[in-house]
Amino acid sequence: MTLHSDDQLKDDSYATGYPTDSIDWLRRLIGFDTVSRHSNLALIEDVQAYCEQLGLTVDLTFNDAKDKANLFVTVPAGANADEVNHGLVLSGHTDVVPVEGQDWTTAPFTATIRGDKLYGRGACDMKGFIACALTLLPQAVKLSHAGQLRRPLHLALSFDEEVGCLGAPLLLADLKARGITPDYCIVGEPTNMTMVVAHKGVAVYRCRVHGQSAHSSLTTQGVNAISYASRLIGYVDELADEISGRDDNDEWFDVPYSTLSVGTIQGGTATNIVPNLCEFTFDYRNLPHMTQDDILVPIKAKVAELSAQMQARAADTGIELLQMEAVPAMTDSDSAELQALIAALTDDDTRHKVAYATEGGQFTNSGIPTIICGPGSIEQAHKADEFVALSEMARCDAFLQKLLASATSQS
């Protein structure tokens, strides 16, 4: 069956006014400016209307401000097209990173094809995959109507992935509440259509060191916030060194151990004032077998020790440690069956592990074995002139065609 057969266009599983191929879908999706700080509702409503034309019912979960939504939709399976549980989820985030300060040679929110590449914000990260998945839907619906879909196919679109994977947990909680337990998930982040079976987790912390001001000639009357911050930073670096030297490293990762890195620091107002405030941030990227507690327990102990020293000198001083962001690592322990399926579909059983975090960790954490596999390269993500190679879109289309075929009773 081809996607553009006249047959299909006459079928009721065709949505009027919507693209019928993945490139046109990608153009349409890039046209929505879904930078994370903006609402994604225009895109979500457009996809919702498309799904409804196909006879599907979408479930939306909103942020508190109700200006962003996740969308979850199921193409049911079974002879009566009424099975909605189990099955496979195709997952993508709808938000994209900003374009300010980047030197674009094309309009970022207008898809531009030059040569064998399509340029635009989100082209590879990750509207390309969503475009391919949306293109597949009418065909899946047609098979569903014919009673030929053996297991449901779900599509999950999230918001606020790029600012800490804030949307997906709401969608996952909603699924749990509705008793829907998908068997597998494919997150279509750009991997050049190779199989990523695990990634590190990431947690971001902000540390506020509250000291006490004094004239710099009277240091004994002050508590130097920068000095105490520097002791804590020194400790974070020592801990990073200790972790890197452990014998449980995973050589599949580019950096085979968990990392800690101080990223920003602010403090002080003038050279002749003992500073009363110093703030710094650091991030922790943990191997799947390590948890945030592995660093939090020792760091909190150090914070308590330093705070006690500060408070012995002035009561109102001390150190606050705030978690800003936490995305769990994605483990590969439960996904052997899924990996075998992906290896068959891509004709490539090479497994990769990556350092960047995705929503995949949240899916695995809620008990859904997940792999990352999508068109385009992470090398082009977040950059000026982001693009996806047209050949990658074609590979993703072919991959999803095979995936659908594997889920039909004719196969």
Q: What are the residue numbers of the active site?
A: 95, 161
Q: How many CB atoms lie within 10 A of CB 116?
A: 10
339 or 377: CB nearest Zn ion: 377
Q: If binding is defined by CB under 5 A, does position 126 make contact with Zn ion?
A: yes
Burial class (CB in 10 A: 0-12, 13-18, 19+), 368: buried
> Judged by CB under 5 A, how many residues of this single chain contact Zn ion?
3
Residues 158-217 that bind Zn ion (CB under 5 A): 189
Q: Element (H or E) spanning 298, and its range?
A: helix 293-313
Q: Please state the length of the chain.
A: 411
125 or 386: CB nearest Zn ion: 125
- Kindly state the smallest distance separating residue 186's Cβ from Zn ion, in Å: 14
Q: If binding is defined by CB under 5 A, does position 29 make contact with Zn ion?
A: no
55 or 164: CB nearest Zn ion: 164
- Kindly state the smallest distance separating residue 32's Cβ from Zn ion, in Å: 16
Interface segment toward Zn ion; rule CB under 5 A; list 104-112, 117-125, 198-206, 304-312: 117-125
Strand blocks (E) in 188-268: 195-199, 201-210, 214-215, 259-267
97 or 299: CB nearest Zn ion: 97
- Kindly state the smallest distance separating residue 22's Cβ from Zn ion, in Å: 18
84 or 355: CB nearest Zn ion: 355
Residue with tokens 């009773």: 409
Calculated CA dihedral for residues 253, 398, 190, 187, nearest 10 degrees: -80
Out of 95, 125, 332, 359, which residue is the one contacting Zn ion (CB under 5 A)? 125
- Kindly state the smallest distance separating residue 257's Cβ from Zn ion, in Å: 24
187 or 345: CB nearest Zn ion: 187
Q: What is the DSSP letter of 127?
A: I
Q: Element (H or E) spanning 58, and its range?
A: strand 58-62
Residue with tokens 């960790």: 361
Structure tokens at 344: 């068959």
Interface segment toward Zn ion; rule CB under 5 A; list 25-33, 123-131, 302-310, 386-394: 123-131
Sheet of 69-75: strands edge to edge? 58-62, 69-75, 153-158, 88-93, 184-187, 370-372, 195-199, 351-354
- Kindly state the smallest distance separating residue 311's Cβ from Zn ion, in Å: 43
Interface segment toward Zn ion; rule CB under 5 A; list 49-57, 113-121, 124-132, 250-258: 124-132
Direct distance between the N- and C-terminal alpha carbons of the chain, in angstroms, rounded to an integer: 12
Give the residue closest to Zn ion by C-beta: 125
- Kindly state the smallest distance separating residue 189's Cβ from Zn ion, in Å: 5
Give the interface with Zn ion as residue ranges (CB under 5 A).
Answer: 125-126, 189
